[in-house]
Amino acid sequence: MGEPNNSFFNFTIFDTKWKFNYAIYNNGLNSQVFDVANWLDFAEGEQVQLAFKDRRGILTSYPNTTLVYAKDESKVDTIAKAFAGEELGYGKVYRYR
């Protein structure tokens, strides 16, 4: 019997790094769309810290926030309208710029 070859163990096959460029915050009635520069989630809770492209930011919770990666901004607006119920006349979508 030979010794085990450690070179076959603990290989990283792929590393997952999530990339998002928009955040949609919904307060139950209205939605706000933010351009996200970067974000940080906290492992011990439901909070996510968002840093916007204008160097401002907020600390919010995951149940109210959806992070989205989209090349087409209209897709983000469609999701935000669905969250706000804008098509049904309930809420509005606001862009934070």
**Domain map of the chain by residue range?**
31-96
Q: Nearest-CA neighbor of 23 among 13, 8, 59?
A: 59
* Res. 14 pLDDT band, cuts 50 70 90: low
Least confident of 30-34, 73-77, 83-87, 93-97: 93-97
The pLDDT value recorded for residue 8 is: 55
Global pTM value: 0.75
Query: How far is Cα 10 from Cα 62, in angstroms, rounded to an integer?
Result: 32
Pairing mode of beta strands 31-41, 47-52: antiparallel
What tens digit of pLDDT does each residue of 34-86 get? 999 999 887 777 899 999 999 999 999 988 999 999 998 889 999 999 888 88
